[in-house]
Amino acid sequence: MKHPRFTLVLLMFIMFITMSGIGLIIPIMPAYLKTFGAAGQVLGFLIAVIAFAQFIFSPLAGNLSDRIGRKKLIVVGLLITGIAQIGFALSGHLFELFLWRFLTGVGAAFIMPSVMAYAADITTLETRGKAMGLIGAAISFGFMIGPGIGGALSNVNLHFPFYVAGSAAIITSLLALLFLTNIIPKVPAAKSSNNIVKEIIRSTKKPYFIMLVVVFIFSFGIANFQATLSMYLTYKFDYSANDIAILMTVGGFAGVIIQGVLLSRLFKKFGELNIVLWSLLVAAVTFICMIFVSGYFLILFVATIFQIATTLIRPAINTLVSKSAGDEQGFAAGMNTAYMSLGTMVGPALAGTLLDWKLDAPFALGAVILFIGYLVLRQWTKKKSSLN
């Protein structure tokens, strides 16, 4: 095996390329969909179809990575993602956009659980929180800077960002093929089903199930925000793609810096569970604030606080799930991604529909959902403490 530090950096780069490719559509879509005669509802469903593919294929990918190794799935996933990005740029009909975004989701489903399981394989329980924080930072950085990349590259033309993203994913697949060792767990994976319903039922019996519920709730809220923000700012304030890209990128940088530099210290001082609790509450409050603020810099401030809060949740949840997963790292990571994808699927689809009805509605709904997540986790924490 390559040095664990080098391997971790490569895993981070893989997640950055994957998530930036998914996120770069956000500032482009208002203008891009006009060429197809579509609006907010279609954007919501385009984002949701990626999540739908991840929801279906992530458990399968997680189980396969426990059986045949992480590397193969990562390489194949990157190739699928790269081809799908280029196919999206070449699309001439609306149904083609949905097809290629679905395949983008399939590629991400192969990559994400395998990367998280790989990170767990090369770390100890003591160092796993830091590693998951770095992987989470790469995920957040990719998704947050993706819109910035998309906005900048769209100055060439609206198709150019997808060609760049597709080429980057294919090149990264070659790097993974050359430099990753194919890790297969020493302990055989538990017998599993490829039936998503059975796998969901199986996950309810795991000690980390409540964390998976919070993953769904958190993902619903953040996907709601990310899916509708560009349309909201375009319709309400007439912001350009570059305005939106800058706004989302600043928050992304802030979140990534905190994840990369401070997260392990925050975990040690407050614990992963408390980080999740308070971040859910802060995210809910800033969601509501978005309805009432105006002025670019005030909106930038509120959006940045929201993004910092949400970027702290993901690695904390990933660490809690991984620590409870034992020898089923692939399954746990797959279910983690599946629940995340379920929230990411439902959130944008509902938010896009609500946006076409009333501009503020998606933000009000997102705040309520995140606050419910806070209450659920707080109640579970109290119950767990009383039992101990």
SS3 239: coil
Least confident of 38-47, 152-161, 218-227: 38-47
Chain segment 100-157, per-residue pLDDT in tens: 999 999 999 999 889 988 988 888 877 877 787 788 778 877 877 787 788 788 888 8
pLDDT for 281? 94
Burial of residue 82 (CB within 10 Å: 0-12, 13-18, 19+) is buried
Q: What is the mean pLDDT of residues 294-309?
A: 90
Distance in angstroms (rounded) separating the CA atoms of residues 337 and 18: 14
Return all residues near 293 (Cβ < 8 A) that are at least 6 apart. 299, 302
For helices 209-237 and 296-325, the axis angle rounded to 10 degrees is 160
pTM of this prediction? 0.72
Task: Report how many helices (DSSP H) and strands (DSSP E) the chain contains, helices first.
Answer: 15, 0
Distance in angstroms (rounded) separating the CA atoms of residues 339 and 332: 11
pLDDT for 32? 80
pLDDT for 153? 87
pLDDT higher than threshold 70 for residue 2:
no
pLDDT higher than threshold 60 for residue 235:
yes
pLDDT higher than threshold 60 for residue 187:
no
**Maximum Cα–Cα distance across the chain:** 60
Chain segment 332-360, per-residue pLDDT in tens: 888 887 888 788 778 777 877 787 788 88
Distances (CA, A) of 154 to 21, 26, 68, 146: 13, 11, 40, 12
| Contact criterion met (CB below 8 Å) for 112 and 333 | yes
Chain segment 150-177, per-residue pLDDT in tens: 878 888 888 899 999 999 999 999 999 9
